[in-house]
Chains A and B, each alone.
Chain A
Amino acid sequence: MPTGGIAPGKHHIHPAYVIKSALSAALLILIAVVPSVLGSVLPSVLMEDAEAGNAITYIMLSVIALFVLLVAFLGFFAFLSYRRFLWEITSTDIHIYSGVLFKKQVHIPFHRVQSIDFNAGVIDRIIGIVRLKIETAGGARNKAVLIPSLKLNEAEALRAEVFARKRMAAGGGIASAAQTMPVAPQIAYGRPQTAQGAGGLVRGVESSLAGARGMLAQEYYEEAPLEYEYRLTAKELLLSALSSDHNYVTFLIIVGFLSQIPEFLGLFVSLDGFVYQQAFDSLAKQAVSAIILEVFVFAALLFVLTIIGTAVSYGGFKARRRGGRIEVEQGLLARRYKSVAIQRIQSVEVKQGFIRGLIGYAELRLHTIDALDSGNEQNKQGMSSMGVTIHPFIKKTRIDELLAGLVPEFNERPQEKELRKLPPVALRRTINRSFVFPALIIGVPLALLSLLVIQPYVPADFARFVLIGMWALYAIVGAYYLIGAFLWKKHSTYTYNQRFLAIKQGAYGTSLLFIPRSKIQYARTKQSPLQRLAKVATIEATTAAGVGGTHTRLRDLRVAEADKYLDWVRPSLRR
């Protein structure tokens, strides 16, 4: 049997599963129980009551005993589910047997398998195991199947085997493990081969990661030839963390909040009466500046932490194309491996945050059909697709090159300069929609509040402070949305050619989406009564991306243009 082949018969998952689930259960219980126990016990401890002290000892002992018992029970349960969990590869399906009280058998025919992804937390990586997720084809209601712990090389072998058999099944042959397993190793999995633009630091991290395959390390060779690979350079990683909009927003909110503190404190000091004011003044000022300094340092720290967080989650980022699939790996500590079959890709998105837009960089995403994780069906239902990031930070001029390597299927997409603008009436409507109406809805009650409540009833000093603050905030938010409306009009554009629809929109950040016509499940135009007056319509394209489909819409095209778009979707008018 060649390296990594899967022996026939049923297999257990890796026994580390038992310890892992017991540990995580124990941790959960600890987090839930400790604060409440401490809360009830601490007061008496602090009072040094001897009698109570005895009682507390008993309580603590019984709590600890209960805890140990509970963890032991959960550990035993985990052991049972470990014993019951078996997987097997037969000539036609993957079989998974599981369940302690309710037994469950899942059979997945190879041709239904769409993707097999790995996930590994920090502990998993130390041990060298992964969680494996099998996604199957189907519409809105399909679930993913999980195998909770497998050795990395076993998981890789399983994946290769399943895809080999899937291919065989498609070709009509009968697969056997020994025949389909790779004979000539071409590319070592996880080793840097084509180092496109790999920087020194990240490459170093990469190789050491590839070496650190955990205690159960074994080499495994992937068969399908590598067609294209991309790695994130250290510079890109750092810049991508530095240019993430929401890092700055957090920072700005904290700093903005702080800048209000001196006025606020100063106000209360002055309200407290004139007698103390002299004495308080200098003291208060010192206290205030100390607080500001502290919180500022705290905010800066938080900022640095979020940047490190981004860096850690995108560290060792790799995207490659191999055998009709796109594979993305990422994460310095917890490692994620995600793969997508090309035909499952519904659209490609070029996403620009505000800061990234300014410096000419963007994020690239693929939107694919997602499956639900078994267990948490409800929360993802109807959620639109978040997509798979295939590059978190790419210079706009290099997008063509990367997409040509990774998804040449999208080569015929329209160019950005071909994008068409919306009619002028769209600007008026977006100003009304996102500025005038909300400004009135919020402004009128605010005006009533200031005239009828604050002016007459609140002390003048305080009232002035509140009014200025309130209306300043109102003006700032209003200006933000007004500028946003102009930006939205500027950015909102669309076009389509023989094979692709392109829709770009957004105010401060933009999103440019390329949707192949063959992936549009249905198309819609929509007109509200106001739009009928303005002779414009909304266009919409629905793909199967996400769970249960994703709508992409663009508001306020001229009616004739919207009709033309629908005609473009009609298969009967294609020739």
Chain B
Amino acid sequence: MRPLPSRQLDRRIKRVWRLSATIGVVLWFLVAVVLVFATVAIVYVAGVFEEEGTLVPFMTLAALFVALVLAFIIFVLIVPAVRYRQWRFEVLDEEIDIHKGIFWRKRIIIPLIRVQNVDTRQGPIMRAFGLASFTVSTAAGEHVIPGLQMEEADALRDHVAVLARIAQEDV
């Protein structure tokens, strides 16, 4: 087996992933809680629980909390770590080599002469950490290298742009 590409992403990307995963998990949790409360309210108005015990809503909430903790462990603690460990890339003279994937491991080769566009992007979270993502577009879709230092992403973009200039646009 060919050795993996040499470079890893910036370590801070793990924090970015964790932060956005936390936001996602919390949002889903809030939606679920609101749904539970709405259901409980409706059911109480309809008066179904009057003769029975009223444990059901609490059980549901407890189950939701367990789900929250599990989701937190999986999506905030484990997934970003595994993703970071698997993410490798290398920009060679004539191609970009990427290895990534948590369950499905992918190895991608993008010849630079097929690259039509390169750009760097920064979301608000990324900006807070001083990171940027680097995107190359071909005639059949784009590829993103997500966590790079801002200066490095810019340097990479300029480097690849020079090489990509010889690409045929009229595919």
* Pairing of A with B: yes
Binding site for B on A (CB under 8 A): 114, 137, 139-140, 343-344, 369, 519-529, 532, 542-544, 548-550, 559-560, 563, 566-567, 569-572
In the assembled complex, which residues on chain A have CB atoms less than 8 Å from the CB atom of B109? 522-524, 566, 569-570
> Which of these, A520, A526, A570, contacts B104 with CB under 8 Å?
A526
- In the complex, besides A369-B171, A520-B111, A524-B106, 6 extra interface pairs with C-beta distance below 8 angstroms are A140-B141, A524-B107, A525-B106, A559-B1, A571-B111, A572-B94
The answer to whether A544 touches B95, judged by C-beta atoms less than 8 angstroms apart, is: no
Contact A344 B171 (CB under 8 A): yes
Closest 7 CB pairs of A and B: A549-B140, A544-B139, A571-B94, A521-B140, A521-B138, A522-B110, A572-B94
- Chain B 72-84 per-residue mask, 1 if CB under 8 angstroms from chain A, else 0: 0000000000000
Q: How far is the CA of A467 from the CA of B111 in the complex (A)?
A: 57
Q: Which residue of A lies closest to B105 (CB)?
A: A527
- Nearest-neighbour CB distance to chain A for B56, whole angstroms, equals 29
User: Interface on chain A toward B: helix, strand, loop, or mixed SS?
Assistant: mixed
Tell me the bound Cα distance from A532 to B103 in angstroms: 10
A571 and B112 form a contact (CB under 8 A)? yes
User: Which of A344, A543, A567, A571 has the largest count of B CB atoms less than 10 A from its CB?
Assistant: A571
Task: Determine the chain A residues whose CB is within 8 A of the CB of B140 once the complex forms.
Answer: 139-140, 521-522, 542-544, 548-550
* A170 to B101 alpha-carbon distance, docked (Å): 44
Interface hits, B136-171 → A, CB 8 Å = 137-141, 143, 169-171
Between A137, A521, A570, the greatest number of chain B beta carbons within 10 A of the residue's beta carbon is seen for A521
Query: What are 11 residue pairs bridging A and B, where the CB atoms are less than 8 Å apart in the complex?
Result: A139-B116, A524-B106, A524-B108, A524-B109, A525-B107, A526-B101, A526-B104, A528-B103, A563-B1, A569-B109, A572-B92
Q: State how many angstroms separate the Cβ of A553 from the closest Cβ of chain B.
A: 12
- A139 — which chain B residues lie within 8 A by C-beta? 116, 137, 139-140, 171
Known contacts being A528-B104, A569-B111, A571-B113, is A522 close to B169, with CB within 8 Å? no
Contact check, B141 vs A521: say whether CB atoms are below 8 A apart. Answer: yes
| Interfacial residues, chain B to chain A (CB-CB below 8 A) | 1-2, 92-95, 97, 101, 103-114, 116, 137-141, 143, 169-171
**Structural contact, A522 and B108, CB atoms closer than 8 A:** yes
Residues of A within 8 A of B141 (CB): 140, 521-522, 542, 548-549
- Give chain A nearest CB distance to B74 CB in angstroms: 16
Contact of A549 with B111 at beta-carbon distance under 8 Å, contacts A529-B103, A571-B94, A571-B95 already known:
no
Residue of B nearest to A562 (CB): B107
Which residue of A has the minimal Cβ distance to B143? A522
CB nearest neighbor in A for B108: A524
A408 → chain B closest CB, angstroms: 20
Assembled-state Cα–Cα distance A205/B116 (Å): 47
Contact A566 B137 (CB under 8 A): no
* A-chain residues with CB within 8 Å of residue B139 when the two chains form the complex: 139-140, 369, 521, 544, 549
Q: How far is the CB of A544 from chain B (nearest CB, A)?
A: 4
Which residue from chain B places its CB closest to the CB of A111 in the assembled complex?
B170
| Contact pick for A522, options B2, B92, B93, B111, CB 8 Å | B111
Contacts of B93 in A (CB 8 A): 572
Complex Cα spacing A114 to B111, Å: 24
CA separation between A527 and B106, bound complex, in Å?
A: 7
Q: How far, in whole Å, are A139 and B138 apart by their CA atoms in the complex?
A: 8
Residues of A near B94 (CB, < 8 A) are: 570-572
Q: Which residues of B contact A522 (CB under 8 A)?
A: 108-111, 114, 138, 140-141, 143
Residue of B with least CB distance to A543: B140
Known: A521-B114, A522-B138, A550-B140. A570 touches B170 (CB 8 A): no
A534 to chain B, nearest CB (A): 14
Q: Is the CB of B2 within 8 A of A526?
A: no
Could you tell me if B137 and A532 are in contact, using CB atoms closer than 8 angstroms?
no
How far is A470 from B104 in the complex, measured between Cα atoms in Å? 37
**Min CB distance, A324 to chain B, in Å?**
13
Q: How far is the CB of A155 from chain B (nearest CB, A)?
A: 23
The residue in chain A whose Cβ has the minimal distance to the Cβ of B169 is A137
| Contact residues in A for B114 (Cβ distance below 8 Å) | 520-522
| A residues in contact with B101, CB < 8 Å | 526-527
Residues in A neighbouring B137, C-beta threshold 8 A: 139
Determine how close the nearest CB of chain B comes to the CB of A523; give it in whole angstroms: 5
- Which of B101, B110, B113 gathers most chain A CB within 10 Å? B110
Min C-beta distance of A513 to chain B, whole Å: 15
Chain A residues with CB below 8 A from B111, complex form: 520, 522, 569-571
Residues of B within 8 A of A137 (CB): 169-171
Residues of B within 8 A of A542 (CB): 138, 140-141
Contacts of A548 in B (CB 8 A): 140-141
**Chain B: minimal CB distance from A530 (Å):** 10
Report B-chain residues with C-beta under 8 Å of the C-beta of A526. Answer: 101, 104-107
